[in-house]
Copies of this chain bind each other. A is one copy, B any other.
Amino acid sequence: MANGQAEDRPLTRIQQKNRQTILDAALEVFSQNGFRGSTLDQIAEVAGLSKPNLLYYFPSKDAIHAQLMATLLDTWLHPLRALDADGDPVAEIMAYLRRKLELSRDFPRESRLFANEILQGAPRMKAALEGELRTLVDEKAAVLRAWAAAGKIADLPPHHLIFSIWALTQHYADFEVQVRAVLGEDHDPYAEAQGFLDTLFRKLLAP
């Protein structure tokens, strides 16, 4: 058996390491150039492997991208899942905001990979958006609506409230070049964003 893929034998140490190396390189390249704009040669060079060796571990360029996508949405939604209907409303939302901003700061490549996919019409993720994502958002939107009805937070359209958290946090990762170009050298974008967004949402959520 040549390819580690076929039949689900447990992965050897080398396989595990190299698959991870490849996925990491692919994340780097795909997040910067998009799927169609990236080449196997680029990924191979970043990974420090030969192109045929890449295709020894993954059957195709698509398969590498698909593997990244499979992990991505889950990582990306995890903070929202943690929003607890039984917690303190404002505190829960502020905690979600903070986790999302940390995700942008610590995993900007993942953010940009996601942005690339959506920008291009989500050809490989549309189903997940209309299924998994929509279900989760609807569920949390109901929680927000209940909090608003109980007078715990301001009465706002819950979906758009969630969008605003996404937009404001992801902006700092996806448009990082622009943010840095505008702010110049003597700024810490994420630290400042944290303070600003904290203020913004506290004002917004006050009933």
Contacts and interface: CB of A to CB of B under 8 A. Distances in A.
Interface of A: 32-38, 112, 115-116, 118-122, 126, 129-130, 133-134, 137-138, 154, 156-157, 159-161, 163-164, 166-168, 170-172, 174-175, 177-179, 181-184, 192-193, 195-196, 199-200, 203-204, 206
A132 to B, nearest CB: 10
A160 B203 contact: no
B177 A129 contact: yes
A193 B175 CA distance: 21
A171 B178 contact: no
Contacts of A170: 167
A119 B112 contact: yes
B33 A120 contact: yes
Given A129-B182, A133-B182, 18 more contacts: A32-B120, A33-B37, A112-B119, A116-B119, A118-B178, A119-B175, A122-B177, A133-B181, A156-B196, A159-B182, A160-B193, A161-B196, A163-B182, A164-B196, A167-B175, A171-B171, A200-B200, A204-B204
Contacts of A184: 134
Contacts of A126: 177, 181
A35 B32 contact: no
A32 B134 contact: no
Contacts of A120: 32-34, 37
A182 B203 CA distance: 26
Given A175-B118, A177-B122, A182 B37 contact: no
